[in-house]
Chains A and B, each alone.
Chain A
Amino acid sequence: MRCEEIGELLPDYFEGSLKAGQDSLVEEHIAQCADCREEVVIWKKLSLLPVERLGAGSRERFEAMLSAYQTGRSDKASAGFGPSKRGLLWSWLRSPVGALAWSAALLVIGVFAGNYFGNRPTHSSANQDEIATMHTELANMKQMVVLSMLQQQSAGERLQGVSYSRREDQLDPQVMSALVHTLRYDGSVDVRLAALDALSRHGAQPQVHKGVVDALQEQQSPLVQVALIDLMLEWRDPDAAQRLRDFVQTPNLNPAVRQRADWALSRLN
């Protein structure tokens, strides 16, 4: 093949998206043609350029910008209220009587809107699709954020990831599995405890239930062990008594943990 033809294939070759067979055509050509080979070499050499890192102050600048922006917005909003009359209205709305009146008004508006919109014909399918896409996108975004935070180096960020996962009523299976993994293997006791706390709200799900109950034998931290015992007692797991009996047989068990397990056993019986 001529260099021009190979040149057309090179970008896909760089991206690794050439069709089967075309790869070898390019490779055969560049083995013989120095000019084309140099183009491939220079593309590969670009990976030598260092990855630049932002200075530590950059995050602070960002936070300051965010806070200034939000302050600016709230100042603007409050400036828009104007002088005395609106100020008085605002004070009245904030008073107990005002709050009651305001709540009642909202309730009336809510009932009215519910009746009105509830009786309207259903939305067009295009709107429903759009709403469904938005929901999916939002759910994916949240899921991605949690999963990526749970893999961070810093325990603080992993902790934040666990807290973030608590915002959802329904746990995505991937997030659930990541939380169970965190509970079992995270290096920080705080993060493991937070993961347990997040999972405790989803005990009805078999995967969560099993992950939590199985974690008891693997944990070394007394704090996490006690939290697990308490949760098993709360869930009234049918196997809990047997598992706790096995658990108290563990050699070198922390006395406080053994005492807690014995107490839980007495409650279960």
Chain B
Amino acid sequence: MLEVRNGTGETLGVLFDRYHAPLYNFYTKLTGDRTLSDDLVQEVFLRILKYRQSYEPGTPFRAWIYQIARNARVDHYRKTPRHITFEAEMVAPVMPKDSAQQSEETELLHRALLQMPEEKREILVLSRFQELKYEEIARLLGCELGTVKTRIHRAIQELRQNFKQLERGLAPRDAGPAVVKTIPPRRFGNEM
């Protein structure tokens, strides 16, 4: 990262190779939109290039990159507010024949996740899929470690409720709650 910070474009390619997949999955699970997620990943790397001087050597790089990722998403929704809708295509396109039940379960789970308020969905995505430690999430969200754990527990309770309702067929297939609420990001000094 220091090489990127000092202006070497080549090293950014190495960072792209390492982080594009986790970032893409962060966005797809948060937004349910592959095209937008792809755009946001590109935006993150552009911001890394533009604001590389704001990276403080010695501080965790992952926290910095996810901070940029969160800000990029918030800025996007600020410009173009929209509703999240479930995209059927988000479920893995090719599933083994004997896994029809699992495929249905996956779809319900994804719908249940996307029905959650963004704040809860984000903390689940960060803790379950991005391999971030709770301490790292606490730093990223600017809150206490205990708060992170409480939020994770509440989020999982809500996810369970949503999932059960969908399983029972109580919620219509296209019911998405989910007006996107923008979460004020904590910025690292610079406008990223």
Mask of A27-53 contacts with B, CB within 8 angstroms, 1/0: 000000000001100110111111111
User: With A39-B156, A42-B163, A66-B9 known to touch, is A138 a contact of B3 (CB < 8 Å)?
Assistant: yes
A51 and B25 form a contact (CB under 8 A): yes
Min CB–CB distance B181 → chain A (angstroms): 22
Residues of B contacting A15 with CB < 8 Å?
127, 133-134
User: With A46-B124, A134-B57 known to touch, is A54 a contact of B38 (CB < 8 Å)?
Assistant: yes
Nearest opposing residue in chain B for A145, CB measure: B14
B110 and A53 form a contact (CB under 8 A): no
- Which residues of chain B from 121 to 149 have any CB-CB distance to chain A below 8 Å in the complex? 124, 127-129, 133-134, 148-149
B42 and A65 form a contact (CB under 8 A): yes
Min CB–CB distance B154 → chain A (angstroms): 9
Residues of B contacting A54 with CB < 8 Å?
20-21, 24, 38, 41
Other-chain residue from A49, A61, A62 in contact with B110 (beta carbon distance below 8 A): A49
Min CB–CB distance A43 → chain B (angstroms): 6
Query: Does B179 touch A at the CB level, under 8 Å?
Result: no
Mask of A129-170 contacts with B, CB within 8 angstroms, 1/0: 010011001100100010010000000000000000000000
Mask of B86-126 contacts with A, CB within 8 angstroms, 1/0: 00001110000000001001100110010000000000100
Nearest opposing residue in chain B for A44, CB measure: B128
Min CB–CB distance B44 → chain A (angstroms): 10
Residues of A contacting B14 with CB < 8 Å?
145
Chain B residues close to A by CB (< 8 Å): 1-3, 9, 12-14, 16, 18, 20-21, 24-25, 28-29, 34, 37-38, 41-42, 45-46, 49-50, 57-58, 90-92, 102, 105-106, 109-110, 113, 124, 127-129, 133-134, 148-150, 152-153, 156-157, 159-160, 163-164
